Chains A and B, each alone.
Chain A
Amino acid sequence: MSRNLVVIGISTGGPITLKELFSRLPPLPAAFLVVLHITPHMDRRIALGLSAAASMPVRLAEHGECLRAGMVYLAPGGFHLKLEGNQRVALCEGPRVNYVQPSVDVTMLSLARPCWNSKLIGAVMTGMGKDGAEGIRHIRQLGGITLAQDQKSSTIYGMPKAAVETGAVDFVLPPARMAAKLIELLS
Chain B
Amino acid sequence: MKKGARMNDSIMIVDDNDFVRSSVQIVCECAALAVTAAASGAECLRQLEAGFRGVILMDVMMPEMDGWDTIREIARRGLYPGNLIVMLTGMGEPGLKMEGIQEYVTDYLTKPFGPDQLIESLQYYLILLDSVRA
Which A residues are CB-close (under 8 A) to B82? 41
Residues of A within 8 A of B81 (CB): 41
Contact A129 B99 (CB under 8 A): yes
Interface presence of B27 (CB below 8 A):
no
Interface window among B3-11, B44-52, B57-65, B100-108: B100-108
A45 touches B124 (CB 8 A): no
- Chain A residue nearest in CB terms to B124: A16
Contact B80 A39 (CB under 8 A): yes
User: Total interface residues on B, using CB and 8 Å?
Assistant: 25
B42 within 8 A of A: no
Cα(A176)–Cα(B99), bound, Å: 29
In the assembly, what is the distance between CA of A44 and CA of B93, in Å? 28
Chain A contacts with B in 1-57, Cβ cutoff 8 A: 11-16, 19, 37-39, 41-42, 44-46, 48-49, 52
Interface-facing stretch out of B13-21, B33-41, B125-133: B125-133
Q: Which B residues are CB-close (under 8 A) to A41?
A: 80-82
Contact in complex: A49, B107 (CB < 8 Å): no
List chain B positions with a Cβ less than 8 A from chain A: 80-82, 84, 87, 93-94, 98-100, 102-108, 121, 124-125, 127-129, 131-132
Closest CB pairs A-B (n = 7):
A48-B131, A49-B128, A41-B81, A99-B99, A37-B102, A45-B128, A39-B103
